Homo-oligomer: A and B are copies of this chain.
Amino acid sequence: MRTFECDYTEGAHPNILEALLETNMEQMSGYGFDPYTARAAEKIRAACHAPDAAVTFLAGGTQTNMIVLDLLLEAYEGVISPKTGHINVHEAGAIEFTGHKVLSLPENDGVLDVDALEAYLRTFYADATHEHMVRPGAVYLTHPTEYGTLYTRAQIERVRALCDRYEMKLYVDGARLGYALGCPENDLTLSDLARLCDAFSIGGTKLGALCGEAVVFPWEAPKMLMTQVKRHGGLMAKGRVLGVQFDAFFTDGLYERIGKEAIRHARRIREILLSKGYPLAWNSPTNQQFILLSDAEAEKLRAYVGFDLWGRADDAHWIARFTSSWSTTDADTDALFDMLPDRAALQ
């Protein structure tokens, strides 16, 4: 049975696999000192209009967040995250493993409440005991968020201004960035991110890589970057594996194309869900679509199609997730239309 549970149920995009195949027997230096890694970095710098950016590649998302934040923060600093942020909920304490507190703040459907951020910072520095507290050293955001929602450029600019005022770094986790970039509603470009962030990631794993996230430090490379990555267990001997994949992503607009296509499929999934009577849990413009199901509905629906029981809405309802991805085809969404019963039929 076809499942729509998440965007990493398949392997790699055909272009990526082909690039790995074609380069397989070329002899290259290890640890990222190969021409494909250099080329991928160069293409990413060009795509971001950030000619001085340091670009590096890591294998996974939690590893990326752990390493980037540990490099951005002073040892004694914590990182502000929306309460629902991935680092605050689903990374098994990897940030705390590196000694940093996650300072969680209110959000709306996954988007940090910037008023709450401003109030928090004002209150923090007004508190005479703040040197006994954990200094906020960075703000962590995801784009798109864990709820599939998006920041506006204006919101990120406001966060940036607060970062400047209170001497904090800004890091945007783009594990699903391609699915934001592919959205008509999105007004945050790679160039904007390079202009506004101290670091951001460009997710590969969920966009069709076997594994891999690119990290961009637009302004300044962290000291001893390779050493630090290795110290955190993140340095790959065959760095080429990441370089070749990201070189393919940024060749002929593949990364952008994957995002756009997946969003087209997500719109179709949403239409199908709505047309069959399923209420959206909230409005997500990206590749993850969330609906509300009663426990009984959820139980019955599982016989028809694969989806993710993403979380509890309340004691009697689930939030269920249907995703599109780089691998979704029109045949898949047609099949969804055929498989999915009317909600009324689940009663």
Interface residue from B75, B99, B227, B240 paired with A131 (Cβ < 8 Å)? B227
Q: Is the CB of B232 within 8 A of A233?
A: yes
A322–chain B nearest beta-carbon distance, Å: 14
Indicate if the CB atoms of A132 and B211 lie closer than 8 Å. no
Contact pick for A75, options B27, B75, B126, CB 8 Å: B75
Residue contact A61 to B237, C-beta cutoff 8 Å: yes
Q: Pick the contact of A11 from B12, B227, B241 — CB < 8 Å? A: B241
Q: For the complex, what is the distance from the CA of A10 to the CA of B28, rounded to whole Å?
A: 7
**Is A294 among interface residues, defined by CB-CB distance under 8 A?**
no
How extensive is the interface on chain A, given as a class? 35 or more
Whether, in the assembled complex, A333 has its beta carbon less than 8 Å from a beta carbon of chain B, the answer is no
Q: Once the chains bind, are A211 and B59 in contact (CB under 8 Å)?
A: yes
A241 contacts which chain B residues (CB < 8 A)?
A: 11, 210-211
Asked whether any CB of chain B lies closer than 8 Å to the CB of A91, the reply is yes
A206: chain B residues at CB < 8 Å are 237
Tell whether A127 is near chain B: CB-to-CB under 8 Å: yes
Task: Tell me which residues across on chain B come within 8 A of A126, comparing CB atoms.
Answer: 312
Contact B210 A238 (CB under 8 A): yes
Q: Are B91 and A238 in contact (CB-based, < 8 A)? A: no
A102, closest chain B residue (CB): B101
Residues of B within 8 A of A12 (CB): 20, 24
Name the segment of A63-71, A151-159, A182-190, A265-273 touching the other chain.
Answer: A63-71
**Chain B contacts of A223 at CB under 8 A?**
74
Give the 9 A-B CB pairs with smallest separation, nearest first. Answer: A63-B233, A11-B24, A92-B230, A9-B27, A92-B231, A93-B134, A96-B101, A90-B132, A66-B233
